[in-house]
Structure 1
Amino acid sequence: MNIALFDLDHTLIPLDSDFEWGQFLVRIGAVDADAFAKRNTEFFTQYQAGTLDAVEYLEFALGTLAQFPRAQLDAWHAQFMEEVILPAVQPIATDLVKRHQDADDLVAIITATNRFVTAPIAKAFGVSKLIAAEPELDANGEITGKLKGIPTSGPGKVIHANEWLASMGKTLGSFANSYFYSDSQNDIPLLSVVTHPVATNPNARLKAHAQAHGWRILNLFND
């Protein structure tokens, strides 16, 4: 058996789901447009530059979610999927995931974005295993605004992937071939420990790193 890991934003979908969720909340009037949009854009710029404080951002995003009952959030997310995410999902990306699934590879999506935003997207790709930033929940299942555990970004992706595999008595070395698809230099730690790193729709920094190290470059959305 082989293993195939996928980043989500700008890798399997040609947008950033967390950023777009924030923009969606602004658009439907759920949050103060000027203040939220400004802060959301600042964080997104930091992410692109590789300077984002993951915990600070996640607790900003989760704090926004905590303002609303879970039932309301779920209703909004269904609307978000229909209006924003599903129209952006492209067959070339779903086919890539399916090729690994059809080969009986162990498949997972591993993303720095929180589980609330990404779980329905992983489901749309037919991927049952999602490793994502975990929001803390209270006894009633409501989001508290706090992050549970460590972020699933940068070196954190390696930690979380290893913990998941260890729970099954496996390591990355248990597999003949291990693949990780990502668009960002933020994911170089995990890309560096698989046998087949694939710079997918890479940003400029990851593209340069991939070229220097002889990694495969795959452009799903802009050939």
Structure 2
Amino acid sequence: MQVYDVKVVFFDLDDSLINKDANSLWIKWRFRHERWALVEGMVALASLYRSYKKGRVSYGRLSRYYRTRALGMNLDEYRQRVAQFFHERGHLHIYPQAASLLFAYRRMGVTLVLITGADEEVAQAFGRALDIPHVISNRLAVEQGKITGLQRPLCYGSGKVGLARAFLREQGLKFSDAAFYTDSHADLPLLEKVAQPVVLNPNNRLRATAAERGWPCLDWRMLTPLG
């Protein structure tokens, strides 16, 4: 498995290091425990998933989804549910190849960063399991202990570029020092910024873009992931 001579590597999560997107895994898991997941799933399908895949998710849509997702929960309760979800289901969807790739970069002393549209609680759970020390994600908005949506800016699309730039500045680094692995066409803004873009488990649209631009492409879907 090839690794690149860079100082920092950013990794997407959904359909990249894991074989599903974390939100759909969460909804399926929650449906087994609570009927409210049916409402959450309907909201997600109606206003979120199609736009998400096309790279057109707005702050309003994603924040409204999170208000529905966390209705009636305070932050501690949500954190406990996320821990239960990850223990029972989430960790089973990590690609085994991810561990090998991360280990290779870790041996080289490369800084590893998970940059994902998942919320901070879900992202941190996967980050700990993958031993990725730095996590950039969407942040929950909390008022009087209740989750009311998400904070700005979104960690999505062009928003990832600004958040990655801020991280690099804190480390004294530049985009020319970085690689980025992702499956998502919505991540083109960040792929175009880094020195070494790598498409990972891409859809047909991103695969075609990678071929046009000469970007390397990895596909782990032909091998059986854990779970």
Q: What is the TM-score normalised by the length of structure 1?
A: 0.89
Q: Does 1:114 align with 2:119?
A: yes
Moved more, 59-68 or 185-194: 59-68
SS in 2 for 1:144: strand
Kindly tell me the number of residue pairs found equivalent between the two proteins. 217
What is the aligned partner in structure 2 of residue 94 from structure 1?
Answer: 99
Residue segments in structure 2 that go unaligned for 5+ positions in a row: 1-5
CA 1:196–1:44 in structure 2 vs 1: closer, same or farther (change >3 Å)? same
Give runs of ≥4 in structure 1 deviating > 3 Å: none
Name the CA distance, whole Å, in 2 between partners of 1:73 and 1:38: 20
Q: Does 1:40 align with 2:44?
A: yes
Contact 2:75 2:147 in 1 (8 A): no
Name the CA distance, whole Å, in 2 between partners of 1:166 and 1:108: 14
Name the CA distance, whole Å, in 2 between partners of 1:11 and 1:143: 31
What is the aligned partner in structure 2 of residue 125 from structure 1?
Answer: 130
Name the CA distance, whole Å, in 1 between partners of 2:21 and 2:56: 17
Letter in 2 for 1:17: A
Q: Does 1:15 align with 2:8?
A: no
Q: Give matches, 1:140-179, under 5 Å.
A: 142-173=145-176, 175=177, 178-179=178-179
Q: Give, in angstroms, the shift of residue 119 of structure 1.
A: 1.1
Letter in 2 for 1:3: V
SS in 1 for 2:83: helix
Name the CA distance, whole Å, in 1 between partners of 2:119 and 2:70: 11
Name the CA distance, whole Å, in 1 between partners of 2:147 and 2:91: 28
CA 1:36–1:147 in structure 2 vs 1: closer, same or farther (change >3 Å)? closer
What is the aligned partner in structure 2 of residue 218 from structure 1?
Answer: 218
Name the CA distance, whole Å, in 1 between partners of 2:162 and 2:112: 17
Contact 2:40 2:68 in 1 (8 A): no
SS in 1 for 2:56: coil
Name the CA distance, whole Å, in 2 between partners of 1:186 and 1:219: 18
Percent identity for Structure 1 against Structure 2: 24
Q: Give, in angstroms, the shift of residue 74 of structure 1.
A: 2.5
Name the CA distance, whole Å, in 1 between partners of 2:69 and 2:12: 24
Name the CA distance, whole Å, in 2 between partners of 1:69 and 1:184: 31
Q: Give, in angstroms, the shift of residue 112 of structure 1.
A: 1.4
Letter in 1 for 2:161: V
Cα root mean square deviation, aligned: 1.9
Residue segments in structure 1 that go unaligned for 5+ positions in a row: none
Letter in 2 for 1:186: A
